Structure 1
Amino acid sequence: MTDLIDAFVKLHARLEPVPLTPEISLHQADEPIGLWELTEGEFRSEQPPPFWAFAWAGGQALARYVLDNPSVVAGRRVLDVACGSGLVAIAAARAGAASVRAVDIDPLAIAAVGANATANGVTVTAERADILDGEADADVVLAGDVFYSEQFAKRMFAFLRRARKAGADAYAGDPGRAFRPGGAGTQVAAYDVPTTMALESMTVKRTSVWRLP
């Protein structure tokens, strides 16, 4: 089944540079609707739409910030939580992280992370798991575009706060999603991120990077 999932990712997503981080290429889908319908079949994800197939604005902004500020991750153990395509994890690896772990609940995301890491010549450990009720076990936790639903945002914010209390740094990239917590922390950067009408109903989305308190 793993080989079949890997083949599905490569068949339905083309390797292309990411608009805000063109030094990184990802397997990306042309449009969401057809792929969403496909993943409702044998490859059905627990969290449609197929987040792994697109470079979401929050992830692009966070990846750009990491690439431009490598000291955030250099020589440190990094966790990309709810990693999707692995864009942020790949950025951390390129910026000199000692190790990078990318976690998602979607098996297609895990396959995409593997394919994308290989395409970019970096090492990322991809793991299918729901870790939001546990501990981060990392020096730096990165979360790109994770405040899109109320329940998930609450769980994610609690996880990030626990990571901070345990001594880790935590950063989130967010394009103004409805459920970003009011105490998200300090804004450390903002970008105009290229996106698509199909995903965001606009072609450029102002997106911030937050460092949790």
Structure 2
Amino acid sequence: MDRTAFVLANTRPHLVPLVPEVVLRGADDVIALWEATEEDSPPFWAFPWAGGQALARYVLDHPEVVTGRRVLDLAAGSGLVAIAARLAGAADVTANDVDALSTAAIAVNADLNGVAVTVEGGDLLGGAPDGYDVVLAGDVFYDRGMAERVLPFLRAAADRGAAVLVGDPQRAHLPHAEFTVLASYAVPVHGALESAEVKRTTVLRPK
């Protein structure tokens, strides 16, 4: 499959509701696109999740978090947070996702917004979070297995001196006691996937 061609054929540009500074290619019918991918997981790259929207909004409103710094957008999905970090003045941004369609979408969306983002596929959670001044993670506590793997990675990044920020829309597996809330947003979301039209979403940092 030509993944870039698949992304372009099944999406069109949309403004991000909470982050209108960014345009992302997204699906008009996410459920139909999910069926077309023939994958078990939804196409995380085809729409802006609440955690990513809140985190992108926070970064753009607080550019000092990333300006001049090396940034990792972990589990990047569409690349929204990576793009926002670049627009806010980050010196270098790496967007990582395990989904090959996601990495294709990130490259397409970065080009659409006129920013340079390094796209890295594969699973980073088994390694050391070295080489980054800032680690951004939007909506990564969506299931127990992911939560158990991502939390040690984020802790290790913070222990190495990186600024770590998480965007989370009240997912069941967020370990609240591990984090301090920095900001809260009412984020428009995809009703067919979230069973809601708006999700209260927080931006947090490790304690």
1:194 is aligned, of 188, 191, 199, to 188
What aligned pairs does 1:1-213 form with structure 2 within 5 A after superposition? 1=1, 4-40=2-38, 44=39, 48-137=41-130, 138-213=132-207
- The separation in 1 between residues aligned to 2:106 and 2:90, in whole angstroms, is 16
- The separation in 1 between residues aligned to 2:175 and 2:36, in whole angstroms, is 33
Q: Is the 8 A contact 1:187 1:208 kept in 2?
A: yes
SS for the counterpart of 1:178 is coil
- The separation in 2 between residues aligned to 1:184 and 1:170, in whole angstroms, is 12
Deviations along 1:34-67, one digit per CA (max 9) or x if unpaired, are 1111111xxx4xx611101110000000000000
Q: Which amino acid aligns with 1:10?
A: L
TM-score (norm. length: structure 1): 0.94
Q: Which range is displaced more, 25-34 or 172-181?
A: 25-34
- The separation in 2 between residues aligned to 1:32 and 1:26, in whole angstroms, is 14
- The separation in 1 between residues aligned to 2:30 and 2:74, in whole angstroms, is 22
Deviations along 1:157-183, one digit per CA (max 9) or x if unpaired, are 111001011111100000000100133
Aligned-residue offset at 1:13: 1.2
- The separation in 2 between residues aligned to 1:182 and 1:73, in whole angstroms, is 24
| Residue segments in structure 2 that go unaligned for 5+ positions in a row | none
SS for the counterpart of 2:177 is coil
Deviations along 1:98-145, one digit per CA (max 9) or x if unpaired, are 100000001100000000000001000001110001122210000001
Q: Which amino acid aligns with 2:171?
A: R
| Residue segments in structure 1 that go unaligned for 5+ positions in a row | none
- The separation in 1 between residues aligned to 2:46 and 2:99, in whole angstroms, is 12
Q: Which range is displaced more, 91-100 or 184-193?
A: 184-193
- The separation in 2 between residues aligned to 1:83 and 1:100, in whole angstroms, is 11
Q: Is the 8 A contact 1:184 1:210 kept in 2?
A: no
- The separation in 1 between residues aligned to 2:177 and 2:72, in whole angstroms, is 21
TM-score (norm. length: structure 2): 0.97
Structure 1 stretches of 4+ moved >6 Å: none
Q: Which amino acid aligns with 1:129?
A: G
Q: Which range is displaced more, 200-209 or 61-70?
A: 200-209
SS for the counterpart of 2:67 is coil
Deviations along 1:62-85, one digit per CA (max 9) or x if unpaired, are 000000000000000000000000
Q: Which amino acid aligns with 2:10?
A: H
Number of equivalent positions: 206
SS for the counterpart of 1:183 is helix
Taking only aligned residues, the RMSD between alpha carbons, in angstroms, comes to: 1.0
